[in-house]
Amino acid sequence: MEFKTIIEPFKIKSVEPLHISTEEERKVYLKTAHYNPFLLTSDQVIIDFLTDSGTSAMSAHQWAGIMEGDEAYAGSESWLRMQHVIQNLTGFEYILPTHQGRAAERILYGNIGGKGKIFISNTHFDTTRANIEVTGAEAIDIPIAESKEPSLLHPFKGNMDIEQLKLQLAKHGKNVAAVILTVTNNSGGGQPVSMSNARAVSELCKEFGVLYILDCCRIAENAYFIKHREEGFENYSYEGIAQEMFRLTDGAIMSAKKDALVNMGGFLAVKDLELWEECKNTLIIGEGFNTYGGLSGRDMEAIAIGLKEVFDPGYLKYRIRSTTYLGEKLSALGVPLMLPIGGHAVYIDAKAMYPHIAVDQYPGQALAGEMYLKGGIRAAEIGSVMFGKYDDNHKLIPHTMELVRLAIPRRVYTQSHIEYVIEVFADMMKNKDSVRGYKITSEPKFLRHFSAHFAPMG
């Protein structure tokens, strides 16, 4: 008998207290934080959905590994174990450890980028784009058209547009420095990429002689979707699916803060020795010797263990099913979502939820504020606060979508935390028409979402 309740496939050995605040207290906290959830302190937050990055709970096995960490400057055994796991998973021989994903991005894209170079992706994550653009190169996003319609259902909404890729490769020829496939597509709603799409990208990259890189920070979650949605993979293991995807590419970048189930770390893996040598030099100058790359031995030990644990079928079933559960319950309440529900987060369409709030009064920021006030839930706006620009008259050029991301930390919250979030949303739906927008009262020049100040509209 298979029971329908999917329980957390772990029990809790160590606990971290939550500070349960009142709505009255949160009103003061939010005002003091200038209505920007990034400026709240974590003890003011009850449920923290700001990011799934670096927020995982490690297993007892990983914590034991922390004690086993070999802190040797050169030739650390923990590095050898991490390297071995990555070689086995990716099939690439040449690996470099980095302190997080963006360090690997800076090193690789700094080496192959530069003025006149083009990078093409299903969607570049913001740090990926920033590390490309800072070299003077251009980053082009070509997700499939279906990805831009929040309510449209598609099993692999993270796919790259293959026709567009062919056109772009033909147009830019040898100026294309790399094609980057991001799995799952974080900026596009945590949506998966199919193996057949990854294969089609591979064939074109081979035809045009272009480097093909996998941004694989959520590769295990992506493998889950392939096994259950794509024909021909039913009998593969999740790790086997990931290995197959790596085999199509020339290299990979990983922020281990996601699917390696650790709080810090990353790596760069490539097929080509020469490219590895160049990247190694940059790593040593800026991050550390190539047997630690800015990580402690204990961090590398935890990564070696986490990268194996994440492919456990029981874990992945619980992980994807619990994200879907939250999405389904919110949908049933009438909360408009980015569909289908992705792997690591539920994305709310704030423009559809608050149609009475104009985009220049930031419906996503208003929703993030309301979630915090009502339930102490913290989430990030992914809309015009994050991506909006101004025209010459200082009028907002809005982003295409006004989303709020409820990113779920791995193995951290239980079913009752999620039930609590659902109850908070049920309450929010009752008076949603009276929620007001915000105006920006001060903002920095770059990445304004992290530190801008807001005030509620009168």
- Minimal CB distance residue for ligand F0G: 101
Whether residue 51 is preceded by a cis peptide bond, meaning omega within 30 degrees of 0, is no
Kindly tell me which of 386 and 428 has the beta carbon lying closer to ligand F0G: 386
How far apart are the C-alpha atoms of 362 and 333, rounded to whole Å?
Answer: 23
Shortest Cβ distance from residue 429 to ligand F0G (Å)?
Answer: 26
The Cβ of residue 277 has, within 10 Å, a number of other Cβ atoms equal to 11
- Tell me the closest approach of the beta carbon of residue 252 to ligand F0G, in angstroms: 11
CB of 75 to ligand F0G, least distance (A): 25
Token pair 């049920």 in the structure block, residue: 426
- CA–CA distance, 366 with 384 (Å, rounded to integer): 12
Nearest approach in angstroms of CB 337 to ligand F0G is: 18
Q: Which residue from 174, 183, 148, 144 is spatially nearest to 161, judged by alpha carbons?
A: 144
Give the shortest CB-253-to-ligand F0G separation in angstroms: 7
Q: β-strand 266-270 against 251-255: which pairing, if any?
A: antiparallel
Whichever of 53 and 323 has its CB closer to ligand F0G, that residue is 53
Distances (CA, A) of 266 to 82, 214, 346: 11, 13, 24
Let me know: does 434 contact 28? Beta carbons within 8 Å: no
Q: Interhelix angle for 363-375 vs 415-430, to 10°?
A: 120
Closer CB to ligand F0G, residue 266 or residue 327?
266
Which residues contact ligand F0G (rule: CB under 6 A)?
51, 53, 100-102, 125, 127-128, 182, 186, 215, 217, 255, 257, 266
Give residue 104's Cα distance to chain centre. Answer: 15
263: closest CA among 223, 227, 295? Answer: 295
Of 180 and 428, CB closest to ligand F0G:
180
* Least distance in angstroms from the C-beta of 53 to ligand F0G: 4
Q: Which is nearer to ligand F0G, 268 or 305 (CB)?
A: 268
